[in-house]
């Protein structure tokens, strides 16, 4: 594959392009860079995309590793495998093709991934979907009108995208997902509803 055949960067933020650009900024054209240093640089550029779900100040190793995998997996539509050289499990370096790719698209990549700009969370679309499903549900609209939490488990399941007979662990995970979406988007009413549902279920809410 020639340099010209390397795909162009996406017009939108994505973690694979971010990892390649982060390696360039780490000096990966001149030296081998440990993946942990690479992940920290990528997190510095886009903390909202690569942070823990519950700790915005910490990089999520799994998210960073997945981004690197996207670059190096030829089956991935976002792969840029010829851009990287690999030494052992933990060291990466830009190839000649990778450096040329970064230099050719430097203006665009700087515009998307700059420490002076806020790179949006990859979860933005998930947040929108969670909140749309929740606030459009029968249980939520009923609560808005009456202030009472539905006692019908199937209505709550509809709101949180699970089944009435789902295990407690699944219910708690769904509640957490929607709660974090509400908090990230400043949706106080949805947050209050979720916590009321959690209290209701923890108190042994009906299985009807």
Q: What is the model's pTM?
A: 0.57
Taking the domains of the chain in order of start, what are their residue ranges? 3-112, 124-202
CB 132 within 8 A of CB 120: no
Confidence of residue 207 (pLDDT cuts 50, 70, 90): very low
Q: What is the pLDDT of residues 21-68, one digit of tens each?
A: 999 999 999 999 999 999 999 998 888 888 887 787 889 999 999 999
Q: What is the pLDDT of residues 108-153, one digit of tens each?
A: 898 888 755 556 555 566 788 889 999 999 999 999 999 999 889 9
Q: What is the pLDDT of residues 146-158, one digit of tens each?
A: 999 988 999 999 9
Among 1, 10, 27, 15, smallest CA distance to 81 is for 1
Q: Which pLDDT value is given to residue 123?
A: 57
Confidence of residue 4 (pLDDT cuts 50, 70, 90): very low
Q: Does domain 3-112 have CATH number 1.10.10?
A: yes
Burial of 75 (0-12, 13-18, 19+ CB in 10 A): exposed
Q: Which pLDDT value is given to residue 125?
A: 67
What SS3 class is residue 59? Answer: strand
CB 79 within 8 A of CB 72: yes
Question: Helices 15-25 and 96-104 sit at what angle, rounded to 10 degrees?
Answer: 100
């Amino acid at each position: 594959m020639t340099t010209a055949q390397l795909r162009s960067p996406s017009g939108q933020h994505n973690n694979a392009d971010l990892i390649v650009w982060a390696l360039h900024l780490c000096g990966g054209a001149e030296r081998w860079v440990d993946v942990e240093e690479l992940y920290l640089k990528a997190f510095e550029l886009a903390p909202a995309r690569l942070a823990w779900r519950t700790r915005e100040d910490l990089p999520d190793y799994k998210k960073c590793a997945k981004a690197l995998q996207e670059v190096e997996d030829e089956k991935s539509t976002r792969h840029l495998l010829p851009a990287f050289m690999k030494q052992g499990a933990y060291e990466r370096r830009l190839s000649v093709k990778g450096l040329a790719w970064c230099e050719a698209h430097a203006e665009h990549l700087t515009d998307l991934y700059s420490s002076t700009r806020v790179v949006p969370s990859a979860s933005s679309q998930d947040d929108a979907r969670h909140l749309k499903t929740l606030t459009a549900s029968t249980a939520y609209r009923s609560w808005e009108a009456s202030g009472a939490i539905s006692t019908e488990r199937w209505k709550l399941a509809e709101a949180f995208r699970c089944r009435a007979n789902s295990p407690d662990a699944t219910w708690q995970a769904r509640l957490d997902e929607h709660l974090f979406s509400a908090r990230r988007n400043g949706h106080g009413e949805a947050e209050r509803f979720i916590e009321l549902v959690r209290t209701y279920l923890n108190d042994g809410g009906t299985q009807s």
